[in-house]
């Protein structure tokens, strides 16, 4: 089935493309931020700076 978007196709396609782009940027930002924070925590642990509890900062119970 070929979808017909009529004379305003550019408005519809731009709306969906913009939504997809913003969602992808949000996901990318959150994933990269997670990697950055876990990497920094591992660097601290390697240099001997640990939490008072002695647990790894990236660990979960």
Footprint of other proteins (CB under 8 A): 1, 3-9, 11-12, 14-16, 18-19, 22-23, 25-27, 29-31, 33-34, 37-38, 40-41, 44, 47, 49-51, 55, 57-61
Contact 27, 21 (CB under 8 A): no
The minimum distance between CB 7 and other proteins, in angstroms, equals 8
Q: Which residue has the tokens 């924070």?
A: 37
Q: Give how far Cα 19 sits from Cα of 5, 13, 23, 31, 53, Å.
A: 18, 10, 6, 18, 43
The minimum distance between CB 35 and other proteins, in angstroms, equals 10
């Amino acid at each position: 089935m070929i979808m017909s978007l009529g004379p305003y196709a550019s408005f519809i396609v731009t709306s969906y493309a913009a939504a997809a782009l913003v969602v992808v940027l949000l996901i990318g930002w959150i994933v990269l931020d997670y990697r950055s924070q876990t990497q920094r925590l591992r660097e601290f642990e390697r240099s001997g700076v640990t939490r008072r509890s002695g647990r790894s900062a990236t660990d979960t119970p």
